[in-house]
Amino acid sequence: LTQNALFGMGNPLLDICAVVDKDFLDKYGLKPNDQILAEEKHKEMFEEIVKKFKVEYHAGGATQNSVKVAQWMIQEPHKVATFFGCIGKDKFGKILKEKAEEAHVDAHYYEQSEEPTGTCAACITGDNRSLVANLAAANCYKKEKHLDLEENWKLVEKAEVYYIAGFFLTVSLESILKVAKHASENNKIFCLNLSAPFICEFFKEALMKVMPYVDILFGNETEAAAFAQERGFETEDIEEIAKKAQSLPKENKKRQRIVVFTQGKEGTVMTKGVETFPVLEINQSEIVDTTGAGDAFVGGFLSQLVQDKTFEQCIRAGHYSANVIIRHAGCTFPEKPDFH
């Protein structure tokens, strides 16, 4: 395995995690299990959550979580995973840089001072988590200011596997397309996550511009349903949705698209034929917090994909990683994995 073999680009956010109550969710109009972008009405929420509840700060952001978990699963060499994203020149940005370094991820942030580092409030109730992202700096990523720079683009070219969460479609479609086209033209593997129902609903044009370059599409059951509805797939069956998503037009004909849909404690659906793989058993009492479970699944999957393992092995690693993450607060993990 070589350094920089896995490339991720997305929104680096500092997660502000707290166990909250239903009143708090209701006050800000939040669903128990959702991911949304912060609006005006959520501004005070970020202050209130810190005042009212016991909060923990964790380095977050979907793509960054996934590449960190992949690096953790791989262990050696360090810096197999590269990450690009935008942060502010502030305390939170400094924390994100330190955390990326601790995780041995080769993070190259575009740093600017107009906007502060982005945050994400993870409002936990039981085994649900409602995520409200205030992108701030993360929204300021610029292709010409960062991705296009020679020393940065060299890192992109070094990679064999690319992963971008759908959340980044709201920030820089042109950056995603540049990377996706590079992967497609060089027969490398480009992976995308649907990330959230709102991406499928409100950013579907951007999503469909990238789709022809997608070799592996990830999502969960609610995202798959939202995607099916927006595409007019007349089915609610997750295996059927996966098959239809697989057969959407594709640029690089050398690779058949693989679609992978997780369903929480239900099995994971993968179109290789169409198979459902059961997840690892876990006792409800052992679940600390499901924040980052989907990201961890992808991270485990990518850790094996970048080593040319079978797709079945990728899924097993994904299930293992997710199972570990939900036993810890935020997207955090023990020192070493125990995956065989």
Q: What residue ranges in 113-166 does DSSP mark as E strands?
A: 118-125, 128-134, 161-165
Closest CA to 8 of 71, 58, 59: 71
Q: Are 223 and 197 in contact (CB under 8 A)?
A: yes
Alpha carbon distance 64, 297 (integer Å): 13
**Helix (H) and strand (E) counts in the chain:** 12, 14
Cβ-defined contacts of 72-75 (< 8 Å, 24+): 72/103, 72/299, 72/333, 72/337, 73/299, 73/300, 73/303, 73/304, 73/317, 73/321, 73/337, 73/339, 74/1, 74/303, 74/306, 74/307, 75/336, 75/337
Closest CA to 279 of 297, 291, 292, 295: 297
The enclosing H or E element of 221 equals: helix 221-231
Only one residue has tokens 């997780």, namely: 262
Alpha carbon distance 338, 331 (integer Å): 17
Alpha carbon distance 48, 26 (integer Å): 14
Alpha carbon distance 324, 230 (integer Å): 33
Tokens coding 284: 């409800």
| Options 106, 295, 308, 338, the catalytic residue | 295
CA 8 to chain centre: 9
Closest CA to 121 of 203, 30, 198: 30
Alpha carbon distance 314, 223 (integer Å): 21
Q: Does residue 21 have an active-site annotation?
A: no
Which residues are catalytically annotated?
295
